[in-house]
Amino acid sequence: MFKPQIKVPATYMRGGTSKGVFFKLTDLPKPAQVAGEARDNLLLRVIGSPDPYGKQTDGMGGATSSTSKTVILSKSEQPNHDVDYLFGQVAIDKPFVDWSGNCGNLTSAVGAFAITNGLVDKNTVPDNGVAIVRVWQANIKKSILVHVPMTNGEVQETGDFELDGVTFAAAEVKLEFLDPADGDGALFPTGNVVDDLEVPGVGTLKATMINAGIPTVFINACDIGYTGTELQGDINNDTAALEKLETIRAYGAVKMGLITNINEAQARQHTPKVAFVAGPADYTSSSNKYIRANSVNLLVRAMSMGKLHHAMMGTAAVAIGTAAAIEGTLVNIAAGGGALNEVNFGHPSGTLKVGAEAKKIAGDWQVTKASMSRSARVLMEGVVRVPG
């Protein structure tokens, strides 16, 4: 006798250039309300992983790193915060949920979900104007302010804000990532803004390894045979390129102290990210939009879960903005150098503007805030069914 499917209240949302399944912690089955195997197994089945076919046909996942995501929200247990936000990156072909980092794109949907689902004190939410939802990012223990537009007591989702990588316009959602550096204050875990990263089979690469938004390893595009104008097909259809970039990521993770040996990288797919940078150049985006060199400060291409991202991860954008604001990093150099509090960078789908405030205190770089704009909307809400 097979057990019937269970019904779990859920909301399917787009946030930035990602989408995922959102849950209230208290709506999950009791065993899944705490971290552990029961929670991971539930989320894997919801998304449709592991899928050896790589399609996630029997679940809510979209067979890409941008669409294989889950979010669990609850009223905050932290002082001066409204909601606790826990993000789970679900592997597609492996039985694995990575809890090691944040999703900056889905952060833009957190505020709207929290307001709509009663996780924010109504007295702090205006009927018209902008509600500021104070988010505690539980994966990385950081504060984020999400500015949610409100109209007549409801979250305003429609608008004319255009975000490259998203087909349709929507309402603008401003994000502020407060003190986005790693929790122990190690913005640069090696102590250097540029290091020599030795990668067997590849060579010794100049690298900026930074913990801001999400741990990220930046390298120069030209050092690995690229121009920075590449689109997904140029990388994702090249097995040798994917293996090379994953090897760079693994050795970068060791150098950053995130893992002790490269064999551990497979169990930590979400972090760090690896991205390659170049100076401005003309190129045509994946949507056939012509990007002129004089419209951007630099070009960035980033890998996510083993594939070139179709646009840019929100957390990696924080890392880009932060690194750009600090003189001497590879990102800063690619953008022309000097004091840069804001950059507009080119990615495969178009461009994105991100800002950061950095300053040197007692010889160490510190970043007080990084900011950007995204958009978000509910795609579907109700219950998701999961085989018992």
Question: Can you state the angle between helices 104-116 and 314-324, rounded to 10 degrees?
Answer: 120
The values of phi and psi at residue 374, to 5°, are -135, -165
Distance of CA 272 to the CA centre of its chain: 11
Kindly state the tokens that stand for 173: 């959602």
**Is 303 annotated as catalytic?**
no
* Residue of 60, 103, 209, 256 marked catalytic: 103
**What are the distances in angstroms from CA 121 to CA 105, 106, 109, 126, 242?**
24, 21, 17, 11, 46
**Is 222 annotated as catalytic?**
no
The values of phi and psi at residue 248, to 5°, are -60, -45
* Residue of 60, 150, 312, 313 marked catalytic: 313
Amino acid, single-letter form, for residue 304: S
C-alpha span between 271 and 181 (Å, rounded): 14
What are the residue ranges of helices labelled H in 302-362? 314-324, 330-334
Of 305, 300, 292, give the one whose Cα is nearest residue 321: 300
Of 135, 141, 10, give the one whose Cα is nearest residue 75: 135
Contact present, 138 and 84 (Cβ < 8 Å) = yes
Handedness of CA 136, 377, 312, 335 (dihedral sign): negative
| 3 state SS for 180-224 | CECCCCCCCCCCCCCEEEEECCCEEEEEEEEEECEEEEEEEHHHH
Contact present, 9 and 27 (Cβ < 8 Å) = yes
Which residues are identified as catalytic?
103, 313
